[in-house]
C-alpha cells in the first residue's frame, strides 16, 4: 500500500529540516520529498505543518511489572527488589502480567515509543502474541535469574530458546528476540556463559543489567576479584553483540574495554536517580565512542515509560554533573533516543526518517505555547528541551497508523486502564 503524509516538517537529528512529504511503500519509507505531492496514493494524510519525527526506541524495560508503579518508592535497589518486586511478582497471575503488558503498550505508544526492549520472566510468549496482534515492534527476551536448582536453570534457558525459535524475526519482522540473563550478581558465571552460547547459536543480542549500584559492583569484585565488566569480558561474552543496561559504576578501564569490544549501553537516568543508584558516566562513554542509548526501565522504578521525559533527563543531568553545558547537544540526545537505540538493539533500518528505513514515526502537534516560536531551525532544541509527550498526536509503526489524534487505533485504551486498575486492586 502506498501512503503519503504531506504538509509536514521532517526532523532528523543532525539534519536540516525538510518541509514536504513522505511516501510510504508498505512498511518502509520510499521517499522524503520537499514541497507538495502531485502524485496519488492509497491514502494521503495532511500533517498540517506539524513535525514528523522518528519514533523513540526504548532500550530497556520490564512491561510485566507495570502494575507495581508507585508500590515501593524511596528505597535502594536491593531492598526494593527483595521487599517489593520479587514478593509481588511471586503472586502475579496470568491476568496480572497481561494487564501490565497492555498498560505498558498504551503508555509507550502515547508517548511516541515505536520500538522497545523488554526483559521479563513471565508470559513472554503471550506478550509476543499481543505485540504481533497490535502492531508494535519489540526486542523480547525471557528474563532469567541464574539461581536455583540445575533443573530450574535448564528450564529457564529452554524457555529463552523456545522464545527465539518461535518469535525471532516474526510478525513481519516487528519482533526480534534476545537472550537476557538478569545480571552478573544474580547469575553465576556458568549460567552467563550458557546464556552467551545460546545468543551466539542463534545470532541474537545478549542483554543484561550491569554495574547498576556501587554495592552490587563492590560485592562482585569481592566475590570474583573482577569488576562485572572485566568478568563478562573474561567469560568471552563480549565476543557477541551485547547491550548492557545501566553501566553506572565504571572506571576508565571499563569504559575502554566496552569500547574495544563494541558493547552498547542502555542509559536509564530516571530509574538510576530514583533508586539512588548513581549517574552513569555517559559523557566519558560517549567520548570514548560507545553507543549510549536510552531506556526507561520499568514503571516500578521510574515511574513512567515516557521517552520524552527520559531524553530530557539524560540531556540535562550530565550538563549539571560536569558543570559543562556543552557536554552533549540536543541532536546527540535525540539521536541516542532514536537511531542510536535501534543500532544498540541491532535493528538496522530503524530510527530515522529516510528512504529505505522502516516507517516508524510520530507527528508532533507544534501549536503550543511551549513550542513557540515555532521555527524549523529550533525544532531539535524544542524536541529535547521543551516538547511534552502529549504533543505527539499520531504514531506509525512499520507504516501502520497506530495512533490518530491521540486515539489508539489497535488497543482499547479505556479497557486497558480499567483492567490494570482491577488487577492492581486484586494484588493489594
60 is annotated as contributing to ligand binding: yes
DSSP one-letter string for 22-46 = EEEETTEEEEEEES---S--SEEEE
Position 360 contacts Zn ion (CB under 5 A): no
Radius of gyration of the chain (CA): 21
| Cβ-based nearer residue to Zn ion, 131 or 245 | 245
**499520531: which residue's cell?**
394
**496519488: which residue's cell?**
40
The end-to-end CA distance of the chain, in Å, is 48
Q: Which range in 73-81, 216-224, 248-256, 291-299 contacts Zn ion by CB under 5 A?
A: 291-299
State the minimum distance, in angstroms, from the CB of residue 101 to Zn ion.
Answer: 15
What span, in angstroms and rounded, lies between the C-alpha atoms of 123 and 223? 33
48 is annotated as contributing to ligand binding: no
Tell me whether the omega of the peptide bond preceding residue 335 falls within 30 degrees of 0, making it cis: no
What span, in angstroms and rounded, lies between the C-alpha atoms of 45 and 6? 6
| Cβ-based nearer residue to Zn ion, 17 or 61 | 61
Position 212 contacts Zn ion (CB under 5 A): no
| Cβ-based nearer residue to Zn ion, 98 or 118 | 118
Continuous segment of H or E residues that includes residue 293 = strand 292-294
Position 118 contacts Zn ion (CB under 5 A): no
| Cβ-based nearer residue to Zn ion, 98 or 297 | 297
State the minimum distance, in angstroms, from the CB of residue 266 to Zn ion.
Answer: 9
Assign 3-class secondary structure to 392-418: EEEEEECCEEEEECCEECCCCHHHHHH
Position 310 contacts Zn ion (CB under 5 A): no
State the minimum distance, in angstroms, from the CB of residue 75 to Zn ion.
Answer: 16
State the minimum distance, in angstroms, from the CB of residue 68 to Zn ion.
Answer: 13
Position 297 contacts Zn ion (CB under 5 A): yes
What span, in angstroms and rounded, lies between the C-alpha atoms of 287 and 125? 39
Q: Which range in 35-43, 158-166, 294-302, 309-317 contacts Zn ion by CB under 5 A?
A: 294-302
| Cβ-based nearer residue to Zn ion, 210 or 282 | 210
∠ Cα 140 270 344 (to 5°): 40
297 is annotated as contributing to ligand binding: yes
> 3-state class of 363 per DSSP?
strand
| Cβ-based nearer residue to Zn ion, 23 or 187 | 187
62 is annotated as contributing to ligand binding: yes
- Ramachandran angles phi, psi of 362, nearest 5°: -125, 150
| Cβ-based nearer residue to Zn ion, 112 or 295 | 295
Q: Which range in 231-239, 290-298, 316-324, 358-366 contacts Zn ion by CB under 5 A?
A: 290-298
| Cβ-based nearer residue to Zn ion, 45 or 248 | 248
CA-closest candidate to residue 268, choices 246, 247, 300: 246
391 is annotated as contributing to ligand binding: no
State the minimum distance, in angstroms, from the CB of residue 132 to Zn ion.
Answer: 24
419 is annotated as contributing to ligand binding: no
Q: Which range in 196-204, 217-225, 293-301, 349-357 contacts Zn ion by CB under 5 A?
A: 293-301
227 is annotated as contributing to ligand binding: no
**573482577: which residue's cell?**
226
142 is annotated as contributing to ligand binding: yes
State the minimum distance, in angstroms, from the CB of residue 349 to Zn ion.
Answer: 26
Residues 6+ apart with CB under 8 A from 181: 144, 145, 146, 187, 191, 192, 195, 208
Residues 6+ apart with CB under 8 A from 379: 9, 11, 17, 51
State the minimum distance, in angstroms, from the CB of residue 297 to Zn ion.
Answer: 5
- Using Cβ positions, the residue closest to Zn ion within the complex turns out to be 297
Beta 137-144 vs 113-120: how paired, if at all? parallel
Identify whether the C-beta of residue 226 lies closer than 8 Å to the C-beta of residue 138.
Answer: no
State the minimum distance, in angstroms, from the CB of residue 182 to Zn ion.
Answer: 8
> Which residues does residue 138 pair with via DSSP β-bridges, in sequence order?
116, 175
Total residues in contact with Zn ion, by rule CB under 5 A = 1
Q: Which range in 65-73, 84-92, 295-303, 360-368 contacts Zn ion by CB under 5 A?
A: 295-303
| Cβ-based nearer residue to Zn ion, 297 or 343 | 297
Q: Where is the binding site, in residues? A: 60, 62, 89, 142, 182, 209, 212, 297
**Binding residue numbers for substrate:** 89, 142, 182, 212, 297
Which residues contribute to the annotated binding site for Zn(2+)? 60, 62, 209, 297
User: Which residues are near Zn ion by CB under 5 A?
Assistant: 297
Amino acid at each position: 500500500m502506498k501512503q503519503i503524509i504531506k504538509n509536514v516538517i521532517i526532523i532528523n537529528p543532525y539534519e536540516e529540516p525538510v518541509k514536504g512529504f513522505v511516501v510510504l511503500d508498505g512498511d518502509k519509507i520510499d521517499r522524503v520529498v520537499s514541497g507538495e505531492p502531485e502524485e496519488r496514493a492509497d491514502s494521503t494524510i495532511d500533517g498540517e505543518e506539524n513535525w514528523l519525527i522518528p519514533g523513540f526506541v526504548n532500550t530497556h524495560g520490564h512491561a510485566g511489572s507495570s502494575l507495581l508503579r508507585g508500590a515501593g518508592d524511596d528505597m535502594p535497589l536491593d531492598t526494593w527488589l527483595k521487599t517489593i518486586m520479587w514478593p509481588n511478582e511471586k503472586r502475579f497471575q496470568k491476568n496480572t502480567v497481561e494487564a501490565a503488558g497492555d498498560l505498558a503498550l498504551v503508555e509507550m505508544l502515547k508517548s511516541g515509543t515505536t520500538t522497545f526492549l523488554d526483559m521479563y520472566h513471565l508470559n513472554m510468549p503471550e506478550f509476543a502474541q499481543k505485540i504481533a496482534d497490535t502492531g508494535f515492534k519489540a526486542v523480547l527476551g525471557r528474563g532469567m535469574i541464574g539461581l536455583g536448582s540445575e533443573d530450574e536453570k535448564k528450564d529457564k534457558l529452554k524457555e529463552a530458546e523456545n522464545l527465539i525459535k518461535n518469535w525471532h524475526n516474526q510478525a513481519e519482522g516487528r519482533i526480534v528476540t534476545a537472550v537476557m540473563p538478569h545480571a552478573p550478581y544474580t547469575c553465576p558465571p556458568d549460567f552467563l556463559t550458557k546464556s552467551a552460547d545460546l545468543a551466539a547459536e542463534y545470532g541474537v543480542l545478549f542483554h543484561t543489567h550491569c554495574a547498576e549500584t556501587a554495592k552490587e559492583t563492590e560485592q562482585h569484585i569481592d566475590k570474583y576479584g573482577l569488576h562485572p565488566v572485566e568478568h563478562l569480558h573474561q567469560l568471552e561474552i563480549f565476543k557477541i553483540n551485547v547491550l548492557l543496561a545501566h553501566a553506572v559504576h565504571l572506571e576508565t578501564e571499563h569504559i575502554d574495554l566496552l569500547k574495544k569490544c563494541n558493547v552498547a549501553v542502555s542509559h536509564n537516568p530516571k530509574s538510576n536517580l530514583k533508586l539512588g543508584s548513581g549517574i552513569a558516566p555517559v559523557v566519558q562513554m560517549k567520548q570514548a565512542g560507545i553507543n549510549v542509548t536510552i531506556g526507561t526501565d520499568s514503571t516500578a522504578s521510574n515511574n513512567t515509560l515516557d521517552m520524552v521525559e527520559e531524553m530530557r533527563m539524560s540531556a540535562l543531568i550530565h550538563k549539571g554533573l560536569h558543570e559543562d553545558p556543552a557536554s552533549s547537544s540536543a541532536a546527540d540526545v535525540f539521536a541516542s533516543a532514536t537511531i542510536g537505540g535501534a543500532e544498540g538493539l541491532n535493528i538496522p533500518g530503524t530510527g530515522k526518517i529516510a528512504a529505505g528505513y522502516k516507517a516508524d514515526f510520530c507527528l508532533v502537534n507544534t501549536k503550543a505555547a511551549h513550542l513557540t516560536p515555532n521555527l524549523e531551525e529550533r525544532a531539535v532544541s524544542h524536541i529535547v528541551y521543551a516538547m511534552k509527550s502529549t504533543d505527539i498526536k499520531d504514531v506509525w509503526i512499520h507504516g501502520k497508523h497506530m495512533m490518530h489524534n491521540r486515539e489508539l487505533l489497535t488497543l482499547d485504551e479505556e479497557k486497558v486502564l480499567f483492567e490494570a486498575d482491577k488487577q492492581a486492586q486484586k494484588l493489594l
